[in-house]
Amino acid sequence: MHELKLRVFEANMALPRSGLVTFTWGNASAIDREQGLVVIKPSGVAYETMTPDDMVVVDLEGKVTEGQWRPSSDTATHLALYRRYPSLGGVVHTHSTNATAWAQAGRAIPALGTTHADYFSGDILCTRALTQSEVETDYELNTGKVIIETLGETEPLYTPGIVVYQHGPFAWGKDADDAVHNAVVMEEVAKMAWITRGINPDVQGMDDYLMNKHFQRKHGSDAYYGQKQGR
């Protein structure tokens, strides 16, 4: 697991470097599907002192199999997503300012332009509120469940992020680095949407045909953005 622990450590260190995390307000994880093991940041350990050896390894039921620390308090949320969506390889949670503001407002981050559509096929959804019972019993697991409820049967890599009502953003990807990348994009498009709505409160969502063009040219079966592998 050494290589995966190193990649997860680097993903976690990228969060404050990218301006997504203050103090210890965030975590990143990745999964080894063959072994059924997840590597995640330890709970409450300062980024300034953290090392790859501080990463915690858990199985898909949350049992610690390696590490000296308790895993992130959000571990159960990460595990719920990995169990439900086999395409996920990495998950990130932050309290980044702009995406969290949309979560606190209880609003989806609207798709208003091509920057958004290059990564997200539609609005970045906001979950419903958790009930008092869901918060008081298995809170982190129920956070994962409400994300899954909101996404439904959607392929999560087509909408690689969500905002949890009154909480904050979660993002994911094919691996930990991809999840961090998507978390950065989500924060940027959250800021763009806020500014755009300030300029024009009556702005409507972007045209479907333009959204589809931008998403498909990067992610579709005939994608042509970027270079062919090996070129």
Supply the DSSP symbol for 122. S
Task: Read off the amino acid at residue 147.
Answer: I
Verify whether residue 54 is a known catalytic residue: no
Using CA atoms, how far apart are residues 185 and 171, in angstroms rounded to an integer? 10
Q: Is 225 a catalytic residue?
A: yes
Among the listed residues 118, 123, 139, 158, the single catalytic one is 118
Tally the C-alpha atoms within 13 A of residue 86's C-alpha that lie toward its C-beta: 3
Tokens of 189: 């498009």
Residues 179, 216, 147: CA angle, nearest 5 degrees: 40
Residues noted as catalytic: 118, 225
